[in-house]
């Protein structure tokens, strides 16, 4: 797979932002990572190529299906001639505007078969390989042809292997996992393949995606928690935050559960900070619980700072209160920096306190540099801490 080594890792970050879950795509095609996936409007995968009940993507029955048929819609097998396929390509190139182009592209997917896939692919090469259509085509091809489609991607210069693997994983997850696990370490970590695998697994079954992320962690993958974060975002987008909270609570304890809890808490607190806090109080002690408490108080401080402050006053000194105070202080600092700093200084744990003071101090310096300098001169903070607070940071 010579091409795998040519693909830079930026693909993974682009894919995360572009992954849509609207029709169970991997990040919603109508939103965006705001969405917290930072800003997506393109589609990586579609539910149209997901689960075949018998998992027989390689059978003669499934191999003769069109992409639309694999979506569960009623459609007769496509029998386009070579001239008909090429005409679709011409229509795609000449389409005026996104609506017309999408109409033609839908015809391409509807008439895609294993037999005409390579010729059909030639018709979409005018598309950018980071475009939603390019990825969706390969996702559909992967769902239809499995390893055959993925192998084809190993011999092409475009970034298409991850998309085809995603489609295969959504349709026949165990077969796609066996393929991925048979790759050498470098191949697994190149070309965005692991991201393609997990996107497809989320479409097939989030629990399989969790297993995949945990297997990657066990294998020493430093991006395993990011994989888990992606799975959690997709779970959040397919249900309400309370359901996602129950799901996160049921995961095996450890770093991966903490990653899931942190992501759920961020979204849940935005919806209902008090309910998030109630949920956090049911969690076992640890980083996950602390992050959930922090997120709940951060949002609560924005919605009802007086009620949140009253709750803080009633809490005994503990790691939980430190997390709550951190969330509260760093949020109220945007409205009242000095109050935020005062709260930050009540944190018991020295490391947590220093981080909170520095974060609130940076907000203070950004809003009122002169007043912040006066505060710093009497703050007792080290020179390094003061330098961190006043250092100009780049945008974004």
Burial 33-55 (b: 16+ CB within 10 A, else e): bebbbeebebbbbbebbbbbeee
pLDDT, position 104 = 96
pLDDT, position 367 = 93
244: which strand partners?
none
pLDDT, position 176 = 96
What is the pTM assigned to this prediction?
Answer: 0.68
Q: 177 burial class (0-12, 13-18, 19+ CB within 10 angstroms)?
A: buried
Return the SS3 of 304: coil
CA distance 17 to 2: 26
The candidate with the shortest Cα–Cα distance to 360, out of 325, 330, 322, 382, is 330
CA distance 332 to 312: 13
pLDDT, position 52 = 34
One digit per residue, pLDDT tens: the chain, 396 residues?
A: 444 433 333 333 334 333 333 333 333 333 333 333 322 333 343 333 333 333 333 333 333 444 444 434 434 445 789 999 999 999 999 999 999 999 999 999 999 999 999 999 999 999 999 999 999 999 999 999 999 999 998 889 999 999 999 999 999 999 999 999 999 988 888 888 999 999 999 999 999 999 999 999 999 999 999 999 999 998 998 778 999 999 999 999 888 999 899 899 988 988 899 999 999 999 988 888 999 999 999 999 998 999 999 999 999 999 999 999 999 999 999 999 999 999 999 999 999 999 999 999 999 999 999 999 999 998 889 999 999 999 866 444
- The CA–CA distances, whole Å, from 16 to 11, 138, 323 equal 8, 17, 29
Supply the DSSP symbol for 210: H
The number of beta carbons lying within 10 Å of the beta carbon of residue 104 is: 19
pLDDT, position 189 = 82
pLDDT, position 362 = 95
Return the SS3 of 145: helix
CA distance 170 to 203: 5
């Amino acid at each position: 797979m010579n091409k795998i080594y040519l693909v830079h890792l930026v693909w993974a970050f682009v894919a995360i932002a572009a992954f849509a879950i609207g029709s169970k795509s991997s990040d919603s095609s109508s939103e965006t990572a705001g969405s917290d996936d930072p800003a997506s409007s393109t589609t990586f995968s579609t539910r149209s190529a997901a689960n075949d009940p018998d998992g027989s993507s390689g059978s003669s029955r499934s191999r003769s299906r069109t992409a639309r048929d694999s979506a569960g819609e009623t459609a007769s097998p496509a029998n386009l001639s070579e001239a008909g396929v090429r005409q679709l390509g011409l229509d795609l190139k000449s389409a005026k505007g996104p609506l017309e182009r999408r109409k033609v592209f839908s015809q391409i997917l509807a008439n895609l078969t294993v037999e005409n896939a390579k010729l059909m692919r030639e018709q979409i090469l005018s598309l950018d390989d980071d475009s939603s259509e390019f990825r969706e085509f390969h996702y559909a091809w992967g769902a239809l042809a499995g390893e055959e489609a993925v192998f084809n991607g190993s011999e092409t210069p475009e970034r298409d292997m991850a998309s085809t693997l995603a489609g295969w994983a959504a349709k026949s997850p165990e077969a796609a996992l066996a393929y991925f696990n048979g790759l050498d370490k470098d191949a697994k970590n190149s070309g965005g393949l692991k991201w393609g695998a997990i996107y497809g697994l989320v479409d097939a079954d989030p629990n399989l995606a969790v297993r995949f992320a945990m297997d990657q962690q066990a294998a020493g993958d430093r991006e395993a928690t990011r994989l888990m974060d992606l799975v959690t975002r997709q779970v959040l987008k397919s249900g309400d935050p309370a359901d996602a909270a129950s799901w996160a609570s049921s995961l095996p304890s450890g770093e991966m559960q903490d990653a899931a809890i942190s992501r759920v808490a961020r979204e849940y607190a935005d919806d209902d900070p008090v309910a998030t806090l109630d949920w956090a109080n049911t969690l076992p002690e640890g980083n996950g619980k602390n992050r959930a408490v922090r997120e709940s108080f951060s949002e609560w401080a924005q919605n009802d700072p007086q009620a949140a402050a009253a709750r803080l006053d009633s809490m005994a000194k503990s790691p939980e209160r430190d997390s709550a105070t951190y969330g509260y202080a760093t949020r109220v600092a945007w409205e009242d920096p000095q109050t935020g700093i005062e709260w930050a200084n009540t944190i018991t744990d020295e490391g947590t306190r220093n981080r909170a003071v520095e974060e609130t101090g940076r907000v203070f310096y950004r809003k009122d540099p002169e007043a912040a300098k006066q505060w710093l001169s009497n703050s007792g903070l080290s020179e390094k801490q003061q330098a961190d607070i006043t250092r100009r940071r780049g945008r974004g």
